[in-house]
């Protein structure tokens, strides 16, 4: 067995994408497409630049163009023209099925209506779909429906249980809403009711947005009691978050709690704090990590991110994800780049004799499939 066998295995293994969203179910123009291949900024891309001139843009031209019958590295204009000719249905099907994902663990909590629901995705792909429920969305639904502060605690518990009846896990975006450095201790009932009253009064008829640290901590603690795996957004994301407060290392006091240790916790994205995340996954039995999202956005440099993410972390604690949302290129590319980057990372290790080819294949299986299958109970 040699590195060629490892390479062949990486190119063909069906992956479990443990954190992903739907692809667009609406048509978008090039301007909109370009805003969706920029993670940090919500603003339109200015006329004097194009997001195709970025690591992600270059990687789309390199890896995605052949799926549209173009040469690798086709120019951006030719790429966009061919994409438009083929139409959304064909493009979406080619990219999603080309990714060779056997299980899509779908976060349905962001911009519902614009991207696939699990059922819509299942109609396009051959793999299985599984749902992750965002806990902040549940609180916002309750407030939009007119919950009173006195009903908040029981209402949230009931909603959390009913909405997760068929889900494989929950997700929190506390990083976006307050940062990972908040006090996660379990708030008392009176404290929760006061915070809920404040939020309900302030929100009035506006779209409710949960940012109160007490209510965020309440939601996370309720999720701990539920016992399903908890995905925690960490680090890289749009500028809505305060990146310095989204380093997962801030969560050490929370992760030290005995009740928290009973529940699998997956740290999502983690870039540029993937080394800190790797340490946490090494330090806490129940903590896992991925470098999804960062892989797409760093393009050909993703091999360095992946190598750095494989430093101190035990391999049983690393997960594969694309974190794709919107353009189906991101679903395909997240898988294609991971496969390519893993080959680049593993080749010198195997060639130098530091790893055997058999061990490399075993680790690929762990990260690409088996860790997530076990953790979310997907088998
Ligand atoms: Zn995501």
56: CA distance to ligand 1 center in Å? 17
Q: Provide the pLDDT for residue 167.
A: 96
User: According to the model, what pLDDT value does residue 150 have?
Assistant: 97
Confidence of residue 379 (pLDDT cuts 50, 70, 90): confident
pLDDT in tens, 301-354: 999 999 999 999 999 999 999 999 999 999 999 999 999 999 999 999 999 999
Contacts of 332 (CB under 8 A, 6+ apart): 63, 64, 67, 94, 95, 96, 98, 99
Residue found by looking up tokens 């997956």 in the block: 266
Separation of CA 348 and ligand 1 centre (Å): 32
Structure confidence at residue 334 (pLDDT): 98
Q: Tell me how far the alpha carbon of residue 5 lies from the centroid of ligand 1, in angstroms.
A: 32
Counts for the chain of helices (H) and strands (E), in that order: 17, 8
With H, G, I as helix, E, B as strand and everything else as coil, classify residue 228. Answer: coil
Q: Cα 151 to chain center, whole Å?
A: 32
Distance (Å) from CA 335 to ligand 1 centroid: 15
The CA 110 to ligand 1 mean position distance, Å, reads: 8
Burial class of 43 by CB neighbour count within 10 A (0 to 12, 13 to 18, 19+): exposed
Please give the distance, rounded to the nearest whole angstrom, from the Cα atom of residue 83 to the centre of ligand 1.
25
Task: Please enumerate in sequence order all residues whose Cβ is within 8 A of that of 61, keeping only pairs 6 or more positions apart, or say none.
Answer: 52, 72, 73, 74, 75, 76, 79
pLDDT at residue number 113: 86
**Ligand 1 mean position, distance from CA 177 (Å):** 15
Taking the C-alpha atoms of residue 298 and residue 219, their distance in angstroms, rounded to an integer, is: 33
Give the distance (Å) from ligand 1 centre to CA of residue 224: 20
pLDDT at 66: 98
Residue 356 alpha carbon to ligand 1 centre in Å: 34
Distance of alpha carbon 144 from its chain centroid, rounded?
Answer: 26
Query: How big is the chain by its Cα radius of gyration, in Å?
Result: 21
The torsion of the CA quartet 95, 101, 336, 367, rounded to 10 degrees, works out to 160
C-alpha of residue 270 to centroid of ligand 1, in Å: 11
Q: What is the pLDDT of residue 237?
A: 83
370 touches 18 (CB < 8 A): no
CA of 324 to the centre of ligand 1 (A): 7
The string of pLDDT tens digits covering residues 35-67 is 999 988 888 899 999 999 999 999 999 999 999
235 and 273 Cβ atoms separated by less than 8 Å: yes
Q: Is the pLDDT of residue 205 over 80?
A: no
């Amino acid at each position: 067995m040699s590195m060629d066998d490892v390479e062949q295995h990486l190119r063909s293994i069906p992956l479990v994408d443990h954190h992903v969203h739907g692809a667009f179910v609406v048509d978008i123009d090039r301007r909109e497409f370009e805003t969706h291949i920029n993670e940090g900024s919500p603003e339109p891309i200015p006329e004097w630049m194009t997001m195709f001139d970025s690591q992600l843009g270059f990687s789309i031209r390199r890896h995605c163009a052949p799926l549209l019958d173009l040469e690798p590295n086709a120019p951006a204009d030719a790429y966009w023209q061919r994409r438009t000719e083929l139409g959304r249905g064909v493009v979406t099907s080619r990219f999603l099925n080309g990714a060779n994902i056997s299980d899509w663990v779908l976060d349905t909590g962001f911009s519902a209506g614009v991207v696939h629901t699990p059922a819509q995705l299942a109609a396009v792909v051959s793999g299985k779909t599984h749902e992750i429920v965002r806990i902040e969305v549940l609180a916002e639904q309750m407030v939009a429906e007119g919950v009173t502060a006195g009903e908040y605690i029981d209402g949230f518990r009931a909603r959390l249980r009913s909405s997760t009846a068929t889900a494989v896990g929950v997700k929190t975006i506390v990083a976006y809403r307050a940062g990972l450095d908040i006090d996660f201790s379990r708030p008392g009932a009176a404290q929760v009711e006061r915070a809920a009253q404040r939020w309900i009064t302030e929100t009035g008829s506006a779209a409710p947005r949960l940012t109160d640290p007490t209510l965020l901590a309440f939601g996370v603690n309720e999720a701990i009691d539920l016992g399903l795996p908890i995905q925690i957004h960490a680090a890289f994301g749009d500028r809505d978050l305060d990146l310095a407060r989204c380093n997962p290392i801030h969560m050490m006091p929370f992760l030290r709690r005995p009740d928290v240790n009973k529940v699998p916790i997956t740290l999502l994205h983690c870039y540029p704090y993937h080394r800190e995340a790797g340490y946490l996954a090494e330090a806490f039995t129940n903590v896992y990590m991925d470098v999804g999202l960062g892989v797409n956005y760093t393009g050909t440099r993703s091999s360095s991110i992946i190598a750095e993410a494989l430093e101190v972390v035990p391999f049983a604690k690393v997960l594969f994800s694309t974190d794709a949302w919107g353009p189906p290129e991101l679903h395909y590319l997240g898988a294609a780049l991971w496969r390519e980057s893993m080959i680049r990372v593993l080749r010198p290790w195997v060639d130098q004799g530091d790893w055997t080819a058999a061990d490399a294949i075993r680790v690929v299986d762990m990260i690409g499939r088996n860790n997530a299958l076990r953790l979310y109970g997907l088998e």
